[in-house]
Amino acid sequence: MTTTEPTPTTDAGPESVSGAEIVFDQVTKSYSAQGKPAVDSLSLTIPAGQIVMFVGPSGCGKTTSLKMINRLIDPTSGTITIGGKDVRSQDPDDLRRQVGYVIQGGSLFPHMTVAQNIALVPGLLRWDKKRITDRVEELLDLVGLDPVRYRDRFPRELSGGQQQRVGVARGLAADPPVILMDEPFGAVDPITRQRLQDELMSIQSELKKTIVCVTHDIDEAIKLGDRILILQEHAQIAQYDTPEAILSAPANEFVEDFVGSGSALKSLSLTRVEEVELTEWTTATVGEPVGPVLERARAARQKSVVVLDQRRRPVDWVNIRALTGETVPAPVDEARDLHQIDHRATLNDALDTMLVSAYAGVIVTGRRDQYVGVATFEAVTALITARNEAARQAQEDADEQ
């Protein structure tokens, strides 16, 4: 199989939207004739190509609302349309094959290999074998797993984060316009969660699907969402707006409580690392002779070197004193957590990661995990200071008028 550069997922440009609009019209779901309905007359438009986060306290009906989109639950009354088509006019199994579905922990089938798991829906849609194999390769590559290494592994041979990546790949398998996610990153540790979120954002910036994601974590919602839907009991809309608007102008006390205090801190979640001025760091490729690398590092007055693999993905960050051999070695422990973040990660994530990094900085990666640069602590704090200064200036200007 090929190990060369992956083919782009879509031939269309990055601005093209492959998602479809979802509209809820007066949707109600009651489980019993008496008692209040779980979802009471919900009307909502989810724009094509956006990530909309459903958040709210448990029992607010957010998961019920999500599951009504692919008819895992049928509404008692009201209609839901995807791309203008009533979901109830379609056979539920056909509908579900055209809507990606990702749930907590990936829910991979343990008796199937990674490739078999991803190939499931394309198989149900009777794609031919060659097309399925190619698609599996492409998707594994997209979620940052080397197809040759991971294709034939079983889920239990993967870490939680890797399983979740395969879960996302499986949801994307048949290239559905709409993807539903139910607490997708709930079961992994915070650092892995942050990386998965970053990856989802970079995948989304490539694919422009319509993604509906349920979470109970407001920080996750602020980070991932183009729009956030905050629900109260019985799926009453408390606020449905952009993260910026929800942070700066919460609609009511419920939203204010739910978003919580420290919205200045939370706004760190609105600024992306890509806005930070990145530092050029000395890089080396695995297998390259050590001599020139050391020269470059000294010339740049840097005491460490970022090691990249053949596809320019960072694999290690080493002190130059550790480079004693003939050539730059591959990292010994490949599972070790490298302090790297995606360029779409938030400043909050960057600061978090820096606290555990040995070099007061984090490696920033771009598309498909390729190296972009290093964000230093100074650069991040400088950006925050500048932002605060600008905000204060704006406040003063407003006061003067």
Q: How far is the CB of 97 from other proteins (least distance, A)?
A: 4
**Among 78, 83, 105, 366, which residue sits at the site for other proteins (rule: CB under 8 A)?**
105
Paired with 364 in beta bridges are 341, 373
**Among 17, 23, 112, 245, which residue sits at the site for other proteins (rule: CB under 8 A)?**
112
Distance, in Å, from the CA atom of 144 to the CA atom of 102, rounded to the nearest integer, reads: 17
Q: Are 78 and 27 in contact (CB under 8 A)?
A: yes
Q: How far is the CB of 84 from other proteins (least distance, A)?
A: 21
What is the SS3 assignment for 371? strand
Longest dimension (CA), the chain: 78
| Residues 119-138 within binding reach of other proteins (CB under 8 A) | 120-121, 124
Query: Considering only 111-119, 131-139, 223-231, 315-323, which stretch makes contact with other proteins by CB under 8 A?
Result: 111-119
Our finding on whether 156 is near other proteins (CB under 8 A) is yes
Which of 107/271 has CB closer to other proteins? 107
The number of residues that bind other proteins (CB under 8 A) is 26
Our finding on whether 17 is near other proteins (CB under 8 A) is no
DSSP 219-281: HHHHHH-SEEEEEEGGGEEEEEE-HHHHHHS-SSHHHHHHH-S-HHHHGGGTSBGGGS-PBP-
Our finding on whether 54 is near other proteins (CB under 8 A) is no
Our finding on whether 29 is near other proteins (CB under 8 A) is no
Our finding on whether 326 is near other proteins (CB under 8 A) is no
Neighbours of 387 (CB within 10 A): 16
Inter-CA distances, 196 with 203, 275, 297, 364, Å:
10, 20, 32, 14
Q: How far is the CB of 99 from other proteins (least distance, A)?
A: 8
| Residues 177-206 within binding reach of other proteins (CB under 8 A) | 180
**Among 63, 81, 113, 162, which residue sits at the site for other proteins (rule: CB under 8 A)?**
113
What's the residue count for the chain? 401
Which helix H or strand E contains 55, and what residues bound it? Answer: strand 51-55
Our finding on whether 110 is near other proteins (CB under 8 A) is yes
Distance, in Å, from the CA atom of 279 to the CA atom of 177, rounded to the nearest integer, reads: 38
Footprint on this chain of other proteins (rule: CB under 8 A): 70, 72, 92-97, 101, 103-105, 107, 109-113, 120-121, 124, 154-156, 170, 180
